């Protein structure tokens, strides 16, 4: 099963089962430190393994990010001349060297890392 926040992409790819949650990208399984909601969301999603019996079914989960859906307006929209919407573009340059969260992670990294699998 795929747990997705991008309904159009999931409909195009057509995984065997999907659960859709209408949250902003980066919150597919919930909000930070909202464990009770994360548990409720995961249990609704996982029930789909038993409920969905037709290939390509998508279950919409009963959760709402905010009562007002205005957050959707600025997502991936070019910034307006007044700068509105400029914060919605999070893309970073496509660098081809490892991008560590902390500099100290680079020092701690094992270059022979047995749990890192590099494919051709």
- Interface with another protein, residue 120, by CB under 8 A: yes
CB 97 within 8 A of CB 106: no
Q: Report the DSSP beta bridge partners of residue 118.
A: none
- Interface with another protein, residue 49, by CB under 8 A: yes
- With CB under 8 A as the contact rule, the residue among 72, 80, 84, 86 that binds another protein is 72
Contact characters 8-37, another protein, x per CB under 8 A: xx--xxxxxx--x-x-xxxxxxxxxx-x--
- Interface with another protein, residue 93, by CB under 8 A: yes
Total length of the chain: 120
Min dist CB 81 to another protein, Å, is 13
- Interface with another protein, residue 82, by CB under 8 A: no
- Interface with another protein, residue 52, by CB under 8 A: yes
- Interface with another protein, residue 86, by CB under 8 A: no
- Interface with another protein, residue 1, by CB under 8 A: yes
Min dist CB 93 to another protein, Å, is 7
CB 61 within 8 A of CB 43: no
CA dihedral 7, 9, 12, 15 (to 10 degrees): -80
Question: Per-residue b/e over 9-31, b at no fewer than 16 CB within 10 Å?
Answer: ebeeeeeebbbbbebeeeebebe
């Amino acid at each position: 099963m795929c747990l997705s926040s991008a309904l159009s992409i999931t409909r195009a790819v057509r995984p065997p089962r999907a659960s859709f949650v209408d949250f902003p990208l980066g919150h597919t399984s919930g909000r930070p430190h909202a464990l009770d909601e994360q548990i409720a969301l995961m249990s609704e999603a996982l029930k789909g393994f038993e409920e969905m019996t037709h290939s390509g079914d998508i279950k919409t989960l009963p959760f709402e990010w905010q009562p007002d859906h205005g957050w959707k307006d600025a997502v991936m929209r070019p910034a307006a001349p007044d700068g509105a919407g400029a914060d919605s573009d999070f893309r970073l340059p496509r660098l081809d060297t490892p991008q560590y969260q902390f500099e100290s992670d680079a020092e701690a990294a094992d270059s022979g890392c047995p749990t890192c699998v590099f494919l051709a």
